[in-house]
């Protein structure tokens, strides 16, 4: 039976027809297996590489967007950004290609469950000994990205995979699709957000992002603070019945201390999380600072941390 991937977009209220994709269809050297995810820019398929039988994830751009050179440029840069990052906590890009005029990116099929599903299954706060290593890993990958001028700008639990390993939980950030290189001569290219495509995820977007102002490394730290708040308390820092009210809360309200919802055992992280959620960008710590302060807390509580990951050399066509 043929499978058809469908999703909705801000561009229209009707489901978008990705075309009939039958199992066994070829996209270059890759054989389609099934749909594993979708978003506003692209949909993700599980594929098998015919030449060696290995399984990967393939993100194919939505046909209606492939005609827009600005959006295609942003999509293609996902591969460049991920390859430049060279970090084992970020998904690895393997190949680039086109199918029926639509560009696609082939990446490792990272193990684990999305963090938002883990939190939904948990139904409440995550224990502190589990939270600290996850936050440390996220701060580490952001610090490495920021060192190279890369800003993610859409960090949220849906794009964070968590997998159990013999050495503890492994974290992988699976989508740098909204990332841009924060270089002085690339302002036009850096703000690749087209009409109808929102930058960032509601609930994790920083005030400057909501206002449409410059997105910086501090924007990622704000998102990490929102992720930390949800992990520690089982709830986001702000909640509202509609996007406008939610945006206003991020813009104007000060979040309550996490320990008021997660209990006194997490009070040691109250100052750090609240600083990460500061309205002013210059009042937030850097990702490096966040990682170092998490190390200090873990040392005081005698909680083991992941430690620096080994270097990895990314390659296309690997």
Active site residues: 154
Residue ranges with strand state E in the chain: 3-9, 12-21, 26-27, 30-38, 42-49, 55-61, 93-99, 102-108, 113-114, 150-151, 160-165, 168-173, 180-181
Query: If we measure between CA atoms, which residue out of 63, 89, 68, 90 comes closest to residue 79?
Result: 90
Answer whether 32's CB lies under 8 Å from 22's CB: yes
Angle at 247 between CA 208 and CA 199, to 5 degrees: 55
Cα-based torsion angle of the residue sequence 172, 82, 53, 27 in order, rounded to the nearest 10 degrees: 120
Phi and psi torsions of 33, nearest 5°: -110, -60
Query: Does an H or E element contain 224, and which?
Result: helix 217-233
* Pairing label, strands 93-99, 102-108: antiparallel
Q: Distance of alpha carbon 239 from its chain centroid, rounded?
A: 20
CA–CA gap between residue 58 and residue 45 (Å, rounded): 5
3-state percent breakdown (helix, strand, coil) of the chain, nearest 5: 40, 25, 40
SS3 call for 53: coil
SS3 call for 258: coil
Answer whether 206's CB lies under 8 Å from 250's CB: yes
Q: In what order do the strands lie in the sheet with 113-114?
A: 113-114, 160-165, 168-173
């Amino acid at each position: 039976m043929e499978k058809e991937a469908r999703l909705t977009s801000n561009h229209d209220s009707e489901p978008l027809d990705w075309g009939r994709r039958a199992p066994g269809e070829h996209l270059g050297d890759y054989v389609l297996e099934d749909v594993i995810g979708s978003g506003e820019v692209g949909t993700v398929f599980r594929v098998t590489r015919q030449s060696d039988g290995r399984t990967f994830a393939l993100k194919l751009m939505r046909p209606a967007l492939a005609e827009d050179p600005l959006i295609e440029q942003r999509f293609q840069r996902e591969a460049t950004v991920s390859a430049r990052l060279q970090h084992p906590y970020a998904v690895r890009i393997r190949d680039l290609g086109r199918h029926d005029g639509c560009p696609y990116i082939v990446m490792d099929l990272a193990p684990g469950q999305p963090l938002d599903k883990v939190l939904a299954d948990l139904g409440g706060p995550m224990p502190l000994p589990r939270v600290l290593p996850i936050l440390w890993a996220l701060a580490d990958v952001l610090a490495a990205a920021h060192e190279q001028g890369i800003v993610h700008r859409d960090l949220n639990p849906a794009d964070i995979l968590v997998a159990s390993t013999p050495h503890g939980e492994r974290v992988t950030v699976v989508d740098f699709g909204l990332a841009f290189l924060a270089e002085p001569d690339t302002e036009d290219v850096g703000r690749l957000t087209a009409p109808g495509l929102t930058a960032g995820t509601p609930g994790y977007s920083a005030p400057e992002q909501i206002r449409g102002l410059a997105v910086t490394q501090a924007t990622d730290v704000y998102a990490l603070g929102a992720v930390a708040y949800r992990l520690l308390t089982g709830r986001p820092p702000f909640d509202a019945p509609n996007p406008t009210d939610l945006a206003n809360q991020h813009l104007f309200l000060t979040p309550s201390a996490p320990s008021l919802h997660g209990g006194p055992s997490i009070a040691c992280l109250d100052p750090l999380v609240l600083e990460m959620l500061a309205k002013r960008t210059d009042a937030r710590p850097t990702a490096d600072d966040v990682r170092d302060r998490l190390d200090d807390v873990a040392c005081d509580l005698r909680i083991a941390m992941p430690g620096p990951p080994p270097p990895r050399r990314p390659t296309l066509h690997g």
